[in-house]
Amino acid sequence: MRSSGTALERVAFYFTCGSAVAILFSIAASHILLALALAALLMSGVPLRFPPVKLPLALFLAGTVISMVLSSDPASGRPQIRKFFVFLLLLLVYSVFRHAGQALWLIWLWIGVATLSSLRSLVQFSEKVAEAERLGRPFYTFYMAERITGFMSHWMTFGGQLMIVLLMMSALVFFGRESTQRLVLWVICGAICSLGILLSFGRGVWLATALAGLYLVWYWRKVLVLALPVVLAVLVMAGPDFIRARVRSSFQPHGDIDSNQHRVVTYRTGVEMIKAHPLFGLGPEQVNAQFEKYLPGDIPRPLPTGWYGHLHNIYLHYAAERGIPTLMALLWLLGKVIHDFWRALKKVPPGPGVEKAILHGAIAVVLAILIEGVFELNLGDTEVLSMFLTVVALGYVVRDNVLQPGSAHA
């Protein structure tokens, strides 16, 4: 029985890894592997383990259910209930991963697939440049409507995934014990992924990656923090016109093809929703259905170009959709993750090491999610959420190894 259980545990581990990697190119494949991993784990007899974020996560999920039950159309909220399935990644990764070396292998696989996705995006970009020239249209206005996506279906998903991979990769370069050959490889992959992020034109992803990267640089070489803004400014100024135009669009939008005015509309509408339903929100999937009802009357029509299906801000959206208490539960979870990983970092021995790299990388990812969340509903995106949950679970595996060396889970 023991050998059978051990074999099934290995099967669960490989399926869990497969699910975490497949999310970079296919939700369907990822979820099939996730279900197989859960079945193998349950049959293995291995104790189920959940990271110590059970209470805030339970409150967030309970708040979601309550808001759905109390909404004007409970049935429409079922897609968000089905998304609870994705949170099984916390259980599976934390149950089947045992040490930082296994986490390292998963990050390496992420880097490989993300690099391939970025290479595909560069081909897509060249095709879009050629298409704009063929049609005789200004590239910036042509490109904003349909940008590169890599293996994904949307550029924001693509950029969010690359952001997570790039931060974990940077942490390995700064704090890990990687060989010279791998360091060179990671720098090359990092440059390709950085180019993919840059050309995806996601300003929120740009800012979040830069600021979270600044955190990593600060704890690696503090003196370089002063030089980094100068380097970024030089790169922007030396870059092509369309990059400078995209940077300027934060302050000087090109009409309504940039999302500046669109985000003002979603922000103001979200505030009205929260004022009307502060405790339980409108209910899952109701922001889109009731957007017109809460649109301030002084906003002129037609509305600026943009997607009004959600509020493009995790703080506004979850408060409007599920209520302020549910948003607070989510923020509690994110804050607890940072606190727990930071405490573990204080116990890590001096010098480079994979534990230090993964803990720093995980903190950087949470910071990036919080920053980008001001501009996008990133945790509402299944692909980004899956990778985020995997990073959190890996961080807690490493935390256990640091705080309880020699434990059963180490």
**What is the residue-level pLDDT of the chain in tens, covering all 410 positions?**
333 458 999 999 999 999 999 999 999 999 999 999 999 999 998 899 999 999 999 999 999 999 999 999 999 999 999 999 999 999 999 999 999 999 999 999 999 999 999 999 999 999 999 999 999 999 999 999 899 999 999 999 999 999 999 999 999 999 998 889 999 999 999 999 999 999 999 999 999 999 999 999 999 999 888 887 788 788 778 878 888 889 888 888 877 777 789 999 999 999 999 999 999 999 999 999 999 999 999 998 899 988 899 999 999 999 999 999 999 999 999 999 999 999 999 999 888 999 999 999 999 999 999 999 999 999 999 999 999 999 999 999 999 999 887 554 44
Secondary structure element (H or E) that encloses residue 291, with its range: helix 291-294
**No. of H helices and E strands in the chain?**
19, 0
- pLDDT, residue 374, reads 96
CB 345, CB 354: distance < 8 Å: no
DSSP state of 52: S
Instruction: Provide the residue type at 86 as one letter.
Output: V
Instruction: Say which DSSP state 86 is in.
Output: G
Is residue 172 within 8 A of residue 106, CB to CB? The reply is: no
Residues 170 and 191: their CA atoms lie apart, in Å, by 11
CB within 8 A of 221, min separation 6: which ones?
none
Output the pTM of the full model. Answer: 0.95
Give me the amino acid identity at 228. Answer: L
Surface-to-core class of residue 272, CB atoms within 10 Å of its CB (0-12 exposed, 13-18 middle, 19+ buried): middle
Identify the pLDDT of residue 407: 54
Alpha helix (H) ranges present in 176-259? 180-199, 203-220, 223-238, 241-248
